[in-house]
Amino acid sequence: MAELEQRGERAPAPSKWEYASAPESQEIVKLEDRYGLFIGGQFVQPRSGEYYETLDPSSEDPLAEIPQAGSEDVAIAVDAAREAFADGWSAATPVERAKYLFRIARILQERSREFAVLESLNGGKPIRESRDVDLPLAAAHFFYYAGWADKLEYAFPHRQPKPLGVAGQIIPWNFPLLMLAWKIAPALAAGNTVVLKPAETTPLSALLFCDVLRQAELPPGVVNIVTGDGATGAALVKSEVDKIAFTGSTEVGKAIQRELAGTGKKLTLELGGKAANIIFDDCALDQAVEGIVNGIYFNQGHVCCAGSRLLVQESIYEPLIEKLKRRLTTLRVGDPLDKNTDVGAINSRQQLEKIEELVAAGKEEGAEIYQPPCRLPEKGYWFVPTVFTNVAQSSRIAQEEIFGPVLSVLTFRTPDEAVEKANNTPYGLSAGVWTEKGSRILWMAQRLEAGVIWANTYNRFDPASPFGGYKESGFGREGGRHGLEPYLDFDGAEAFGG
Ligand code: NDP
C-alpha cells in the first residue's frame, strides 16, 4: 500500500492530450428567424410589437428574434390559461392529465438530441452536459409527475387536494429546459394551468417545447409561454395569477415577495446559494477532487447549489490543492458543441462582467488566484476555471454568489469549526461533506443549515428528491411529493410554502 502511494506521488503531471475537435452537428435544429408568443396553443405576435435578438454566447452571433411581451400580452396569456383551466383542464380526470405528461416525457426523450444542441447553442453549456444531464432529467421530471397525477389522494390522504388555478412561473438561464420541467410538470400534475416566462437570454428551448406540447395534443391554453426581459416577469407577478413560482436571484425574489405581500397569491422562491463543500482528512482524496470539480465547474459554475466555497481540513490542505490544480490543467474550455468540452461559454456579457468584477475584488482583498494555462476563443464570453486560496471569511468572494467557474478555498481544523464556517452565510441551499465516516456525515447533516446535503458526491439530482433552501435561498420545495404541495389547495388545511 505504502509503495503504491509512493508511486502515486511520483506520477507524472497529466500529459497534454491534444483532442481532435468532435463537434456535434447543428443540422438537427431548425431555427425560425422570428418567434411568437405561445398563447392558447398558437404562436401569436406580441401586442407590444417589440422584439429582441437572442445570441449564441460562444460566438455572439444572433440566433433569432424573440418577442418582448408587454403587460397586455401577459394579461392575454393569463386569460388563456384561466379559460383552459375552467374549460376542461381542472375537470379532466387525473388519468387524462397523466396521459399528457407521459406523452411530453416520451417526446422529450425522442427529440433529446435536438433539444440538447439547442440548449448548448443558446445557453453556452457543454453538449456533454445538456445531452447527459439536462435532457434526461427534464424527461425524468415529466415521467415522475405523470406518475403522481392520478395519485394525489394517496399523496395527501384526508386532505382533499385541489388545484389552485393559474400558476405564473419565472425561470432563469442556467438550466432553461430543466427549470421549465421542474416548474411545469408538478403544476400540470396537480391540475393547474400555466403561464411561464423563460429568461431573456435563453428562450429557445422553451419555444421549441411549445412544439412538443402541440405534438402531445395538450389542450390549448394549458401551457402558455411569454418571452421577454425582467419587465415581462414583473408584469406576470402583477397579473391575475393564483400563484407565482420563481427561480433566480435573491434580489428579484425579495422584490417579488414584497409585491405579493397581502395579495393572497401563493409564492415559492428558489434563490441563490453559496454552498460549502467540506473536505475531511479521512476522505478518498482523488474522489473528492472530482467532486470539487463537478461541484463548481459544472455548467460554468452557473448553478445555484454550486459548491463555490471549499472548506478543507488543514491537515490535507497542501496535497488537496496540489491535486486540484493539476486536475484543472486537464479541463478543456471552449466550443460548447464540441463533445470533448468540459467548460463552455459564460451565458451573457452581463454575467461575465459580474464574474470579472468579483474576481477583481477577490484579488484586491488579498486572496491568491490560480488559473491554469488556457487558450480562450477570441469571440464570445469566456472565463478560465479559477481557484482562490488564502480567502478571508469576510471577503466578498467568500460571501457573495459569483455564479461562475470560481472557487474560494478556506480551511478548518475541527468539525465544529467546519459547521460554523459553512453556516456563516446568508444563504442555505446546499452543502457537501466528504469523509469515510458515516457517523460524521450524519453529525454534520444535522448541523448544516442547507436544504440539500450531499455526502461523498455533489450536484446529484433526482426528480423524487425534494430540492430547495432556507434563509436567503428561498422557501418551498421542488421535486418529490413535496414539489406538488405548493400547487395545491387543501380543504381546511394549510399548504406548505403557501
Ligand atoms: P434574475 O433573478 O434577474 O432572473 C431570473 C428570472 O427572473 C429571469 O427570467 C428574469 O428575466 C426574471 N426577472 C428579472 N427581473 C424581474 C422582476 N423584477 N420581476 C419578475 N421577474 C424578473 O437573475 P439574473 O439573470 O439577473 O442573474 C443575476 C444573479 O442571480 C446571478 O448572477 C446569480 O447570482 C443569481 N441567479 C440565481 C439563479 C438560481 O438558480 N438560484 C438563477 C439565475 C441567477 P430576465 O432574464 O429577462 O432578466
Atom 35, ligand 1: residue with shortest CA distance: 249
Q: What would the mean pLDDT of 419-430 be, rounded to a whole number?
A: 96
The answer to whether residues 348 and 358 touch, using CB atoms and an 8 Å cutoff, is no
Pocket probe for ligand 1: among 252, 356, 359, the residue whose CB has the most ligand atoms within 8 Å is: 252
304 catalytic, yes or no? yes
Phi, psi (degrees; rounded to nearest 5) at 464: -80, -10
pLDDT, mean of residues 425-429:
96
Mean pLDDT of 397-411: 98
Q: What is the pTM of this model?
A: 0.94
Catalytic residue among 24, 114, 129, 304, which?
A: 304
pLDDT digits (tens, 9 = 90+) for 148-163: 999 999 999 999 999 9
Q: Is 283 a catalytic residue?
A: no
Q: Ligand 1: which of 170, 179, 304 to mutate, judged by most atoms within 8 Å of the beta carbon?
A: 170
Positive/negative CA dihedral, 305, 130, 333, 292 = positive
Query: For residue 270, which atom of ligand 1 is closest to its CA?
Result: 41
Mutate to test the pocket of ligand 1, among 249, 251, 302 (most ligand atoms within 8 A of CB): 249
Quote the Cα angle for 475-478-480, to 5°. 130
Which tens digits make up the pLDDT trace of 234-247? 999 999 999 999 99
1 pLDDT exceeds 60? no
Kindly give, in sequence order, each residue whose CB lies less than 8 Å from that of residue 20, ignoring residues fewer than 6 positions away: none
CA–CA–CA angle 387, 388, 393 (5° rounding): 135
- For the stretch 295-346, pLDDT in tens is 999 999 999 999 999 999 999 999 999 999 999 999 999 999 999 999 999 9
Counts for the chain of helices (H) and strands (E), in that order: 17, 19
Q: Is the CB of 474 under 6 A from ligand 1?
A: no
Question: How many CB atoms sit inside 10 A of residue 215's CB?
Answer: 13
Q: What strands, in cross-sheet order, belong to the sheet with 309-313?
A: 368-370, 386-389, 406-412, 309-313, 276-279, 430-434, 452-455
Query: 430: Cβ below 6 Å to ligand 1?
Result: no
C-beta separation of 227 from 206 below 8 A = yes
pLDDT tens for each residue of 375-389 = 899 999 999 999 999
Strand 37-39, strand 42-44: pairing: antiparallel
The string of pLDDT tens digits covering residues 433-473 is 999 999 999 999 999 999 999 999 999 999 999 999 989 99
Is residue 337 within 8 A of residue 127, CB to CB? The reply is yes
pLDDT of residue 18: 76
- The per-residue pLDDT for 108 is 98
pLDDT at 9 over 50: no
Which amino acid residue places its CA nearest to atom 32 of ligand 1?
403
Among protein residues, the one with the nearest Cα to ligand 1's atom 30 is 249
Q: Order the strands of the 42-44 sheet from edge to edge.
A: 42-44, 37-39, 223-225, 193-197, 166-170, 243-247, 266-270, 474-475
Instruction: Give me the pLDDT at residue 279, please.
Output: 98
Residue 170 CA to ligand 1 center (angstroms) comes to 9
Cβ–ligand 1 contact at 250 (below 6 Å): no
Question: Does ligand 1 come within 6 angstroms of the Cβ of 247?
Answer: yes
How remote is the CA of residue 235 from the centroid of ligand 1, in Å?
14
Residues of the chain above pLDDT 90, percent: 93
Give distance in angstroms: CA of 375 to centre of ligand 1.
30
Q: Which residue has the cell 461575465?
A: 352
Would you state the pLDDT for residue 493? 52
Query: In the structure, what pLDDT confidence band is assigned to residue 496 with cuts at 50, 70 and 90?
Result: very low
Between strands 266-270 and 474-475, the pairing is antiparallel
Closest among 180, 169, 183 to 237, alpha carbons compared: 169
Assign 17 a pLDDT band (cuts: 50, 70, 90): low
Does ligand 1 come within 6 angstroms of the Cβ of 174? yes
Specify which residues 406 forms β-bridges with. 386
d(CA 424, CA 484): 31
When the pLDDT of each residue in the chain is averaged and rounded to a whole number, the result is 94
Q: What angle do CA 81, 90, 67 make, to 5 degrees?
A: 15
